[in-house]
A = this chain, B = another copy of it.
Amino acid sequence: MPHDTAIARLRNLLGDRLSTSDAIRDHHGQNESYYPVTLPDAVAFPASTEEVSAVMTICHEEGCPVVAWGTGTSLEGHALAFRGGITLDLSRMDKVLQVNDEDLDVVIQPGVTREALNTELRATGLFFPIDPGANASLGGMAATRASGTTAVRYGTMKDNVLALEVVLADGRVIRTGTRARKSSAGYDLTRLMVGSEGTLGIITELTLKLHGQPEAISSAICAFDGIDAAVSAVQMVIQMGIPVARIEFVDAMSIRGFNVHAGTAMPEMPHLFLEFHGSEGAVAEQAERVGEIVAEFGGGDFQWTNKPEERNALWHMRHNAYYAAKALRPGCWVLTTDVCVPISRLAEAVTVTRADIDASALEATILGHVGDGNFHCAILVDPDSPAELAEARELAHRMNARALAMGGTVTGEHGVGLGKMKYMDEEHGAAWAVMAQIKRALDPSNILNPGKMVEVN
């Protein structure tokens, strides 16, 4: 068996929390994308920072790859051990360690999911706003620099992680940052680790910023005749500096998916879904100003609600967009794209993308966090048709190429994983080699999620 010495040593360390069973390995070989199932040689379930450190020390000595695993909800194959070795499942490190409500921060272990955290916080009047849709682990969200529907207001994980505890490739444990709100002391290792996808270290503790639960929340939904009008309205809202909490674009095909999946009967037209957070007065004022902009771009009836159950139903539907897209073609695979462009190029980017899909033999939905210039396509593929997968990849490739040509990025929030490796050279140019220099400095044996993010050979 590959890495048998490492595995034997890890079993000594962890006992039955080191598994080589087919069922456990198979579970950790799955992914949310179209990558084939890829089994690790073993799965470790550490219970503490000390154990993670001991695991890394062993794997460093034995040259055994280590791939961190949160909830397995990443979309680019990040957590697949495609060079073998150990999957490090951090789900048992799931404690909320400190709630510092006076400081608006919380200290947690990496396996805490965002829903579990917000449940824990309910009585404090505080919440953690980053919401990628899936109930991901917060360690995984930090590792992929996740964001989602609320980033337009609250930022991404980059903006909401104050400090980290990280175990390095050789087992050293470091702390990056403090609970102070700002610092100019030294290199920003926190931001270096956020988004590094487990290639520079294993996150074993996070200090996160919290926000006050808004006094008032309103949601709105509005249909438009065309993509261009809807997206242009978004551009205007952002340019006016209106602090919307969410502003999501959903195309006509996505609405068809919602109607099939959720049993709604919405008009199959492009829509904006919005949310406003603030005091009663601020929410009313923001809504009024957005209503004026929407009207200017020919948006239909601006439908409002303050009722929590209607609001929750709206965002529940939005969060299930992936499954709604799948419902359009039962049994299909979904190839998801994730470009982000400067807001001035957004209407053009979305319109050209829709035309490109329409000219193909495939169907796809478009939706996204357009307040940040970020949108996704869910391209529906027959899993038994290599020709369809090839065509979908070509469609996705053209979207990525257009985003780069517009001064954007091939991944706004999903991360690099396996799927975006081939674009790193073009997106970063000479800076990509600098990333590899950093990787070599911190992980000279290339055992941390090898083959992802950078090329070190």
Q: Which of B189, B285, B341 contacts A279 (CB 8 A)?
A: B285
Q: Which of B159, B173, B185, B430 contacts A424 (CB 8 A)?
A: B185
Q: Is A429 close to B, CB under 8 A? A: yes
Q: Which residues of A86-143 are within 8 A (CB) of B?
A: 100-105
Q: Which of B179, B408, B413 contacts A408 (CB 8 A)?
A: B179
- A410 vs B374: C-alpha distance when bound (angstroms): 38
A144, B413: Cβ atoms under 8 Å?
Answer: no
Question: How far does the Cβ of A419 sit from chain B's closest Cβ, in whole Å?
Answer: 11
| Cβ-closest chain B residue relative to A434 | B174
A174-B434, A180-B342, A429-B174 are known contacts. Are A416 and B102 too (CB-CB below 8 A)? no
**Chain A 415-451: CB-based contact to B (< 8 A → 1; otherwise 0):** 1100010011001111110110110111000000000
Question: How far does the Cβ of A415 sit from chain B's closest Cβ, in whole Å?
Answer: 4
A414 neighbours in B (Cβ, 8 Å): 184
- A174 vs B173: C-alpha distance when bound (angstroms): 31
What is the count of identical protomers in the complex?
2
Please tell me which stretch of A31-39, A65-73, A232-240, A354-362 contacts chain B, meaning at least 4 of its Cβ atoms lie within 8 angstroms of it.
A232-240
- A166 vs B14: C-alpha distance when bound (angstroms): 45
- A440 vs B103: C-alpha distance when bound (angstroms): 36
A100 neighbours in B (Cβ, 8 Å): 342, 344
Size band of the interface chain A makes with B:
35 or more
B281, A184: Cβ atoms under 8 Å?
Answer: no
Please tell me which stretch of A191-199, A252-260, A294-302 contacts chain B, meaning at least 4 of its Cβ atoms lie within 8 angstroms of it.
A191-199
A263 neighbours in B (Cβ, 8 Å): none
B437, A441: Cβ atoms under 8 Å?
Answer: yes
| Cβ-closest chain B residue relative to A341 | B180
| Cβ-closest chain B residue relative to A444 | B437
- A415 vs B173: C-alpha distance when bound (angstroms): 25
Q: Which residues of A195-241 are within 8 A (CB) of B?
A: 195-196, 200, 211-212, 235, 238-241
B184, A413: Cβ atoms under 8 Å?
Answer: yes
- A185 vs B428: C-alpha distance when bound (angstroms): 9
B441, A181: Cβ atoms under 8 Å?
Answer: no
A424 neighbours in B (Cβ, 8 Å): 185-186
| Cβ-closest chain B residue relative to A439 | B187
Please tell me which stretch of A3-11, A55-63, A145-153, A304-312 contacts chain B, meaning at least 4 of its Cβ atoms lie within 8 angstroms of it.
A145-153
Question: How far does the Cβ of A69 sit from chain B's closest Cβ, in whole Å?
Answer: 18
A184 neighbours in B (Cβ, 8 Å): 144-146, 195, 338, 409, 411-416
For this complex, 15 residue pairs linking A to B, each with C-beta atoms less than 8 Å apart, are A102-B239, A159-B159, A178-B407, A178-B427, A179-B342, A180-B372, A181-B372, A181-B374, A183-B409, A183-B411, A184-B411, A184-B416, A188-B188, A188-B192, A188-B194
New A-B contacts (6) at CB < 8 Å, excluding given A181-B343, A184-B415, A185-B411: A180-B374, A181-B374, A185-B410, A186-B416, A188-B194, A282-B282
User: A-side interface residues toward B, CB under 8 Å?
Assistant: 100-105, 144-147, 151, 155-156, 158-159, 168, 172-176, 178-189, 191-192, 194-196, 200, 211-212, 235, 238-241, 279, 281-282, 285, 338, 340-344, 372-374, 403, 407-416, 420, 423-424, 427-432, 434-435, 437-438, 440-442, 453-454
